Structure 1
Amino acid sequence: MKLKEALQKKRFVVTTEIQTPLDQESGGLIIQNLERIRGRVDGITLSETELEGVVGDTIKTCELLKQNRFESIYQTTTREKNRIQLQKDLIAAHQAGVENLLVFTEDYRITGDSLQEMMFFHVDAGKLKSVLDHIREGHTVDGREIPDKAEFLLGSGVESVWGRNVPDLELREMEEMVRVGAGYFLTTPVFDLDRFQKFLSRTNTFGVPVIAEVLILRTAGVARFLNRHLRSGLVPEWVIRKLAQAADIEKASLELFADTIKGLREICDGVHIITIGGESKLRQYLDAAKLR
């Protein structure tokens, strides 16, 4: 079943992500790992990867997944790309058979707190809408025809830690992404289910499915690393303590994941699982959470 169809049928969708390899020789290993979860996820996101000037071919990897009957989601950003580059990448993705996009305007956020960030958001949203509108109609932004019209299921990142204090301006920006064509919102990582439910109570009126991001935390050390280098306070202290004090760390990790998924089943439309390098163990976590 296609991701778009699963969302339309209100199935509790499950997606995950992998890093685009820097060499195509790694493609076989990627497919080998994904075979362990075949039929258990509705989509696999591939982000653009760059290391010391070497850039992975995300679109080619999406094509590899399609050839092996996996549903790929091409993840990109708008901040570092002008309209021509963004258009080039989206047309190439369409020609490679990609049907799903996940687009971030800045990191995971579609909004900003400062006037400058808000201005960036509006510029990026307008750029994305312009490109999508043109290629949906079968031509480029400068009027050249393309072989066939490109239509995507569009996902947009959204900051989910606002809780009940979601500013009205930021809600209007979410509405703008709906006008761009967003078919679902993907949140930042969720740990506090009560707070997340309050966030959802302010967004249900948009009628757009919300997929919650869930991190697989296997050790307290990984959790502390994320708080130090990704975002302060991202992982709550109670989660770190549970992992640090557990007699069986793997069991504690599986329990944390399963409990989070159980709560999310009742309040949102799906989960996006970040394995943090543990792709080979994903099946264990799917089993623990009874995800297909």
Structure 2
Amino acid sequence: MIAQQPQTYSRFRSAAKAGEFLITAEVMPPKGSDPTHMIKMAEGLKNRVHAVNVTDGSRAVVRMSSLAASTILLQRGIEPICQVACRDRNGIGLQADLMGAHALGIQNILALTGDPVKAGDHPHCKSVFELESVRLLKLIDKLNRGIDANDKPLPDRATNLFVGAAVDPQLKSWSGLQRRFEKKLEAGAQFFQSQLICDFDKLDKFMSQVAVGCNKPVLAGIFLLKSAKNAQFINRCVPGVDIPEYIIERLAKAKDPLREGVAIAAEQVKMARSLCDGVHMMAVRREDLIPEILDLADVAPVNSAPALSV
């Protein structure tokens, strides 16, 4: 007898639908076969975040697949948001992974175009980019309606994926930002997670002029800066990011730059809380500090939820 698809409770989807202030955090899959560190970091986030993002070849650096890593977390009662990028798979591969994710009990997907191969550690590899994020959102909408990319029925049941998209409120082209955001809304995005935010005036403008009335939660990206050198590296290597000089100077003058970075992140969470619908925490390999940042920002633990099954 064929097993029925797992019935799972999604704390993230339920909280989004209820209009709660959403908290997510990002972990990276291992660069190898041992997920111990990833699991440890993710387990420290239980009851502090609604869901944990699992990156998919971020910065074009090879790591364990986001689908496999998300499944590992799900098996440990940690709700994942599985990031899916278009760089490495064609339409057949993307559909296969999305159907597989649903069958494994993974409900949340973040649809991304993906970083260019030249930015990573395998610059000789070929990119695919048959789709980009908007077309991927449209594809997921089709799968949720029970049809494939060719508009043919799925005989073995539709998916039921809760799909989100990335947004960058600090984009220089305001018209481009608005146009891209509207396209993602039309394509079926149910939530948005932003890139690293430093300019909260631009976030305020985005929320009041672009995202206003969309009725979809927007989560501000909050990044833990560990030192002035770390901030300068991000400015140099991450496209579209411009960490202001006063923050870099603050880190440089601090006796303990990491502690100063924690304080800065907490201040930013407080600012975001008054402007948007949630925060997306990024603290590369120091995810253990995220609960402390949330405590400093007076963000209470999230409501407990029934265990996820897979």
Q: Identify whether the pair has TM-score above 0.5, normalized to the shorter chain.
A: yes
Instruction: Report the Cα distance in structure 2 between the residues aligned to 1:100 and 1:233, rounded to whole angstroms.
Output: 26
- C-alpha distance 137-232 of structure 1, shift in aligned 2 (>3 A): closer
| Aligned residue-pair number | 277
Provide the rounded CA distance (Å) in 2 between the counterparts of 1:76 and 1:211. 18
- SS at structure 2 position matched to 1:206: coil
Q: Is the 8 A contact 2:60 2:115 kept in 1?
A: no
TM-score, with structure 1 as normaliser: 0.84
Structure 1 pair 89/226, CA: closer, same or farther in 2 (3 Å)? same
Which position in structure 1 is the counterpart of 2:70? 62
Q: Bigger CA drift: 42-51 or 220-229?
A: 42-51
Whether 1:240 aligns to 2:248 is yes
Offset at residue 7 of structure 1 (A): 1.3
Deviation at 1:265, TM superposition (A): 0.7
Cα distance in 2 between the residues matched to 1:140 and 1:258: 43
Tell me the CA shift for residue 19 of structure 1.
0.9
CA shift in 2, pair 1:39/1:50, >3 Å? closer
The Cα of 1:233 is off from its aligned counterpart by 5.6
Question: 2:23 touches 2:49 (CA, 8 Å); kept in 1?
Answer: yes
Aligned to 1:45: 53
| Aligned twin of 1:75 | 83
| Map of 2:4 onto structure 1 | none
Query: 1 CA distance for matches of 2:61 and 2:218?
Result: 35
SS in 2 for 1:179: helix
1:14 is paired with a residue whose SS is strand
Query: What is the identity percentage for the equivalent residue pairs of Structure 1 and Structure 2?
Result: 26
**Aligned twin of 2:215:** 207
Q: Which residue of 2 aligns with 1:197?
A: 204
Superposed, 1:79-158 pairs within 5 Å as 79-107=87-115, 124=132, 127-142=135-150, 143=152, 145-158=154-167
Match in the other structure for 1:15: 24
What's the CA shift string for 1:227-248, capped at 9, x where partnerless?
Answer: 1222376211010000101133
Alpha-carbon separation, structure 1, partners of 2:13 and 2:240:
34
Pairing partner for 1:291 from 279, 289, 299: 299
2:13 to 4, 24, 34: 4
1 CA distance for matches of 2:218 and 2:93?
28
- 1:176 alignment partner in structure 2: 183
Gaps of 5+ in 1: 109-120
Contact 1:135/1:146 (CA < 8 Å) preserved in 2?
Answer: no
CA distance in 1, matches of 2:58, 2:270: 35
How far apart are residue 183 of structure 1 and its match?
0.7
Q: Give the SS at the match of 1:211.
A: strand
Q: CA separation in 1, counterparts of 2:185 and 2:130?
A: 13
CA 1:51 to 1:209, structure 2 compared with 1: closer, same or farther past 3 Å?
Answer: closer
- Separation (CA, whole Å) in 2 of partners of 1:133 and 1:280: 35
Per the TM alignment, residue 286 of structure 1 is displaced from its structure 2 partner at its CA by 2.4
Once the two structures are overlaid, the 10-residue window that deviates more, 227-236 or 2-11, is: 227-236
SS at match of 1:174: helix
Q: Is the 8 A contact 2:251 2:260 kept in 1?
A: yes
Higher relative contact order (CA 8 A, sep 6+): 2
Q: CA RMSD in A?
A: 2.8
Q: Which amino acid aligns with 1:238?
A: Y
Contact 1:21 1:49 in 2 (8 A): no
C-alpha distance in 1 between matches for 2:296 and 2:261: 10
CA contact (8 A) 1:22 1:57 kept: no
Structure 2: gaps spanning 5 or more residues: 1-9, 117-128, 301-310
Question: Is the alpha carbon distance of 1:33 and 1:277 closer, same or farther for their aligned partners in structure 2, counting shifts above 3 Å?
Answer: closer
Deviations 1:127-149 (A, max 9, x none): 32552243223343353635322
Structure 1 distance, partners of 2:292, 2:169, is 27
Provide Cα deviations, 1:41-89, integer angstroms capped at 9, x if missing partner: 0111111238999651321221121111111011022244332121111
